[in-house]
Structure 1
Amino acid sequence: MGQWRDRSLPVVVGIDGSSSALDAVRWAAREAARRGTPVHLVSAFGWSGKRHLGDPGLGHYRETLMRSTWETVSAAAKAAAEAAAGVEISELVVDGFPVPLLTTESRTAGLLVIGDRGLGGFTSLLVGSVAIGLAARAQCPVVVVRGEHTSDTGPVVVGIDGSPISEEALAFAFDAADARGVPLVAVHVWNDRALEDAVAPLVDWDAVEAEEQVLLAERLAGWGEKYPDVAVRRVVVRDRPAHALIEHATGAQLVVVGSHGRGSAAGLVLGSVSHALLHHSPCPVAVVRTGSSPAAETS
C-alpha cells in the first residue's frame, strides 16, 4: 500500500489533553512540516448518554464535554503551530471512542501519532492489548512519542530480523533518515537460547555471526543506491532483540520496528520486542505493519 509515501495524506494525532499528547502534537507537526503535509488533530470524548435516556440533564453534560474537548484540541492546534510555523492544521472532535476512531482515521493518513500515556479516553492506551491492537490494525505506520529529551540530530535506528515485515520497517526507516539528513543504524539481533543451552559447546559462534552478517548485508543490498545520502551503520549482535534495540536507541531520534517478526510465534514478538520498546524506548517508536509501507522495491 505504501500510503505513508503519499505526501497529500495528513499526519494524524490522537489528542486527549495530557502533556504526553502535546509532546506527540509537537513531534507530529515537525514531521508534517518535513513531509509538506497537513497535521490532523483528532479527539474523542467517549459519550455514553445512550445508556441514560430520559435524564434531562444529560444534554447539558454532553455539551460541556464537547466544549471541553474542543478547547483541548484548540490548545493542541496552538502547540502545533508553535512547533512548526506554517504547517496546515485541521481539527476533529468525535462523539465516540479513541481506538476505533484512530483506526478509521489511519485509513486516509500517512502516519498516526500518539503519546505514550494519556488521560480520559486515552488512559492506559499503551497498557496491555490496546496499543498492540492499534499497531496491528492501523492502515499506516504508528509512532508512539516517548522519551523526555528527543534528539533532533541523532540517527534513525531500525530493527531487522530478515522477515518481509522488517523490509517494510526498513523502507520506512530509510525514508525517515533521508528526510532528516541523519545516519541509519541497522540492527540485526541473533540469539537462540534453546540452541545455546542444548549444543553451545558444539557451535562455531564465529561462523554463525558471519552468516548473520551476510544476512544483514543481503537485506541492505540496493538501498544505498536508492538513498545515496543516507550513511548506514550495520550492527550485528548476539543479544535479546528488545535489549539491543533499546540500547542503540539511546541518543537516537526514532527507532523503527515491524509489527511482528518471523517464526511460528510471530504474534508474540509484538508482545515482547515492540511492547518493550513502547514502554522503555528512550526515543519515539515507529511500528510499521505489513502493508502500511511498501515492500522493498530494491530487493
Structure 2
Amino acid sequence: MSTEKIVVGYDRSPQARKAAAWALDEATRTGAVVEFFHAYEWPHWAPAVSMVPPVAVLPAEQIRRDMDNSLRDAVASAARTHPGVTTTTSVADAGAALTLIDRSRHAQLIVLGNHGYSAVAGLLGSVSVAVSAHAYCPVVIVRGDAARQGPVVASIDDSPSSHAVLGFAFEKAATGGTPLVVIRAWPPTAGVRDDPLFAEGKVPIGIRHPFDELIRGWHAKYPQVDVTAQAVLEHPAATLTEASTTGRLLVIGTHGRGVLRGLLLGSVSQHLLRHASCPVAVVRETAR
C-alpha cells in the first residue's frame, strides 16, 4: 500500500464533495490514501443573555453525530465509486487552517473546495487562502470544471518557485497521461509595445531563451510528456484565467512579497483561486 496521503478538508458542502471526488480520482492514479478531515471550529463568542434574547444552539453532541455520519457516508461512497482507493477519516477540535497546515507536513496533497468553511457564500474561504499560503505540500483548490479532459497548465516566472511548479506539473501530466502547457507571461509595461523587438506582441528569442532552456531541461526528465512552451506578452492573470477554460488543472506558484511575505498569496494567485475555470494547484517554493 502507498504511504502517500491526500488530505481532503471535508465539511459536507457541495464544494467539499467536489474536492473529495477530485482527490479520489487522483488517488486512483497515484495509489495514495485519501483522508477525509473535519475540524470542529466552535464560535469564540456568544451574545450576552441579559442584552439579547437567547439563540437556540444545536447541541455539540448532535453536531458531532451528524458529522460522523457524513464522514462515514463519504467513505462508503468512495468505496462504491473508487473501490481501489484506501480511505480514512479524522477530526480535530481545533482551527481548520492551522490543523491542515500541520498535517501538510506528512501529506502528498491537501485538497480543498473553493470556499469551504467560508462564512460568506461565493467568497474564497479564509481556510483555503491560509492553507495555500502556508502548507508544506502542494494544495489543490477544486473549482470550476473538475472533470474536464484537457491539458495540465503551468505558470512560471523568474522566481525560485518555478522549479517546484514544473516538477509538480510534469509529474501530474505524466501520471495522468495528458499534455502539459507551460506559460511564461511578461506583463506589457509602459513603452514595451513601442519597442521594435516586441513587434506583433511576440517575445524576442533572446529574451525567451532561458525559458525555453528551462523547459527543455525538465522535458528531458519526463520525455513521455507532450509539452508546449508558450511565451506571451500579457498580464499573467488574464492569460492564465483564459488558459483555465480549457485546462484540467492549473499549477501556479506563490511568493508573496513585502512585510507580509508568506502570510498572503500573490495577487495573481488570489485572482486565479477566485476566477479560474478548473482546479488550481498552489505549489510554494518551500514545499517539499
- TM-score (structure 1 length as normaliser): 0.82
SS in 1 for 2:251: strand
The answer to whether the 8 Å contact 2:154/2:169 transfers is yes
| Mapping for residues 89-108 of structure 1, pairs under 5 Å | 89-108=87-106
Q: How does 1:251-266 map to 2 (within 5 A)?
A: 251-260=246-255
Alignment of 1:132 onto 2:125: no
Q: Compared with structure 1, are the counterparts of its residues 223 and 25 closer, same or farther at alpha carbon in structure 2 (3 Å cutoff)?
A: same
Amino acid in structure 2 at the alignment position of 1:135: S
On the 8 A contact 1:112/1:140 being kept in 2, the answer is yes
Contact 1:45 1:69 in 2 (8 A): no
CA drift of 1:211 comes to 3.0
Are the equivalent residues in 2 in contact too, given 1:143–1:287 (CA < 8 A)? yes
Native 8 Å contact 1:30 1:83 kept in 2: no
Q: Which moved more, 1:157-166 or 1:254-263?
A: 254-263
**TM-score scaled by length of structure 2:** 0.85
- Counterpart CA distance in 1 for 2:9 and 2:126 is 18
Distance in 1 (CA, whole Å) between partners of 2:90 and 2:103 is 10
- Cα separation, 1, equivalents of 2:146 and 2:140: 16
AA at the equivalent of 2:129: I
Work out which of the residue numbers 258, 262, 274 in structure 2 matches 1:279.
Answer: 274
The equivalent of 1:296 in structure 2 is: none
- In the alignment, which residue of structure 1 is the partner of 2:157? 161
Quickly say closer, same or farther: Cα 1:182–1:20, change in 2 above 3 A: same
Aligned to 1:10: 5
Letter in 2 for 1:204: L
Q: From 170, 181, 186, give the equivalent of 1:174.
A: 170
Structure 2 counterpart of 1:188, from 178, 184, 200: 184
Structure 2 gaps of 5+ residues are 48-55
> Cα–Cα, structure 1 residues 226 and 261, in superposed 2: closer, same or farther, change >3 Å?
farther
Deviation at 1:67, TM superposition (A): 0.7
Structure having the higher helix fraction is: 1
User: Are the structure 2 counterparts of residues 264 and 244 from structure 1 closer, same or farther at C-alpha, using a change threshold of 3 Å?
Assistant: farther
Identity %: 38
* Structure 1 alignment gaps of length 5 or more: 1-6, 53-57, 294-299
Contact 1:212 1:236 survives alignment (8 Å) = no
Mark the CA change 1:134 to 1:195 in structure 2 (over 3 Å): closer, same or farther.
Answer: farther
Residue 64 (structure 1) aligns with: 62
Distance 1:17 1:146 in 2: 16
Cα deviation per residue 1:64-105 (whole Å; 9 max; x = unaligned)? Answer: 111111122222223333332220000012222211121121
* Counterpart check, 1:201 vs 2:199: no
Q: Given that residues 256 and 266 in structure 2 are in contact (C-alpha distance below 8 angstroms), is that contact kept between their aligned partners in structure 1?
A: no
- Aligned partner of 2:40 in structure 1 is 45
The equivalent of 2:71 in structure 1 is 73
Over the aligned positions, Cα root-mean-square deviation in angstroms equals 3.0
Q: Deviations over 1:195-247 (max 9, x none)?
A: 54xxx535531585323421211221322221111011111111110110111
1:289 paired residue number? 284
1:51 is displaced (CA, Å) by 8.0
Match of 1:147 among 144, 148, 151: 144
